[in-house]
Structure 1
Amino acid sequence: MNIVIVKDYEEMSARAAEHVAEFIRGRSPVTIGLPTGNTPTGMYRRLVEEHRAGKLDFSGVTTFNLDEYRGLAPDHPASFARYIKTNFLDHINIPPGRAHWPSGTGDEAEACREYEAALAAAGGLDLVILGIGVNGHIAFNEPGTSFASRTHVVPLTEETRRIAADGKNFARPEDVPEAGITMGVATIMSAKRVLLLASGPSKARALAAAVAGPVTEDVPASVLQRHDDVTIIADEAAAAGLPA
């Protein structure tokens, strides 16, 4: 496990973008799992800048979003599909049909099967990019999720829904969908390389538990201790609880 500690969010975003850009330049085709939310937004901004400057070609890239809220269509303002299009995909040259996200509507079991099948057809994930929740979740895999899980529907904890109600997309926790569809832990662990990003003091306890605590389903991110190729980029605030 390679841990890179940087000063702040901006430096974390820059280093993450450098890591991803280098990975893409080194191989084609390439399949990448993408996170959403506040943590990766700066990274996406820098990757778009690299593309606009003619320094980064995404024509050989296939993407899969990590998760989605149940009940939200891709064009819903709060959907993760909408987020990734607005912040990233609409500004780069990924070919049509090469960007994927879980279906938040329709038959749940079928949506999970279809997503796993699409991942398999793409040859699996070469790189998966993750954030970490304050409770140690990765994607929407909440504490207690089986390490053997594949793409599945999961109830969201009250804490996750409370944090999501930040006034941007949801005004109140009760406005946040009660469940999400997510790549499972085993799906994530099957990626050839993992990049985890962490920023801010609210992530310090979870990151310390994931890196230095026991490997347990109570802290989903702790499973990354068992992966052979993990890089963590964390700012000083998020890394405050890590062993010296």
Structure 2
Amino acid sequence: METNRLTREEIFKWCSIPKEELKNQEGLKTKLEIRKDKATVMTELGNMMADEVIEHNRQGIPTKWVLPAGPTDEYDIFVDRVNKERIDLKNLWIFHMDEFLDWEGRPLPVADTYESLEGTMNACFYGRIDNELNVPQEQRIWPRIDNIDYADELCENLGGVDTVWAGIGATGLVAFNEAPRSYCYRLSVEEYAQGKTRIVDLNDDSIIAMSQRSFGCCLDRIPPKAITLGFKVMLSAKRAVYMVATGTWKQTVCRILLFSEPTVEYPVTIIPKYVQDVVLYTTEETIDHPMSHETKGW
């Protein structure tokens, strides 16, 4: 069983590397692509999404993705190309990462509100695609409390997914796969990697982060529970693309995912152990770190 946490010395070392030297370091766990700013990153990613569907359609094979409800800027590019180039999405399967639940573990109303991730995706993604091109309803897979095993079983029947398009949290969450924190039990990396769709309590730091980013740190605005895909679905992927362009908020976790061995303390570090092709797309600001600029010897 995993018992060790990352040491301060390890984290400080990784955070102290100048951004210009990162690609030359030995032992990088992911490929690293640095772009000027968020707009550049998201434009490139939206085009990558469109190109993947076009290529799979050309080959006559389905496209199978895991998608987040944030970040969403890349969807502007993707949707625009779909409508202008008439890209057919009838053979696209989308496993949505997660959905908020209320304090009793029940779904909230589907609406164009922060608390409804399905409503968010309807507004910023599905609702903007021409009907004759759109993803069929039955191929939009949301984790549901009334059929909690459906996504996992369907993913297995489809032979896994092609690409996980993943935002990550400041403490390494992917979807709502957060670090398990309990005095009473612990999980190994291998156990966590086999995690299936489940209901979770959000960690306090995630609630604080989301409330600060969107609601002036009004903690009561953030639902306390969620239903999330586990890593079992996501680790079936051929490729994982991390989309991290939020500046100082993610500077440390980017260093950790580049260098750390797999650890449930930062779940994002588990993905490279199981997915062959993993790449981090980020910005110059996000991949920089203030500790790499500290004056030495004073």
Residue-pair matches, total: 236
Deviation at 1:49, TM superposition (A): 0.8
1:215–1:113: structure 2 CA closer, same or farther, 3 Å change rule? Answer: same
Q: Which residue of 1 aligns with 2:49?
A: 20
- In structure 1, how many angstroms separate the alpha carbons of the residues matched to 2:159 and 2:260? 32
Q: Which residue of 2 aligns with 1:29?
A: 62
2:135 alignment partner AA = I
Matches within 5 A, 1:146-157: 146-157=192-203
Who wins on radius of gyration, i.e. which is larger? 2
Contact 1:128–1:195, Cα closer than 8 Å, also in 2: yes
Deviation at 1:86, TM superposition (A): 0.7
Instruction: Give the one of 250, 256, 259 matched to 1:203.
Output: 250
Do residues 128 (structure 1) and 161 (structure 2) align? Answer: no
Q: Which residue of 1 aligns with 2:80?
A: 49
Instruction: Give the one of 146, 155, 161 matched to 1:119.
Output: 155
1:147 alignment partner AA = A
Give the unaligned 5+ runs of structure 1. none
Q: Which residue of 1 aligns with 2:283?
A: 235
Give the unaligned 5+ runs of structure 2. 1-29, 181-186, 293-298
Q: What is the TM-score normalised by the length of structure 1?
A: 0.88
- In structure 2, how many angstroms separate the alpha carbons of the residues matched to 1:69 and 1:169? 16
Do residues 6 (structure 1) and 42 (structure 2) align? Answer: no
2:107 alignment partner AA = L
1:130-174 superposed Cα distances (whole Å, 9 cap, x missing partner): 001011111101113723211112210111112222585797213
Q: RMSD in angstroms over aligned alpha carbons? A: 2.3
1:184–1:206: structure 2 CA closer, same or farther, 3 Å change rule? Answer: same
1:63–1:69: structure 2 CA closer, same or farther, 3 Å change rule? Answer: same
1:148–1:11: structure 2 CA closer, same or farther, 3 Å change rule? Answer: same
Greater fraction of residues in helix: 2
Contact 2:65–2:164, Cα closer than 8 Å, also in 1: yes
SS at match of 2:138: coil
1:84–1:169: structure 2 CA closer, same or farther, 3 Å change rule? Answer: farther
Contact 1:125–1:191, Cα closer than 8 Å, also in 2: yes
* Identical-residue share of aligned pairs (%): 22
- In structure 1, how many angstroms separate the alpha carbons of the residues matched to 2:147 and 2:207? 22
Q: What is the TM-score normalised by the length of structure 2?
A: 0.73
Contact 2:177–2:267, Cα closer than 8 Å, also in 1: yes
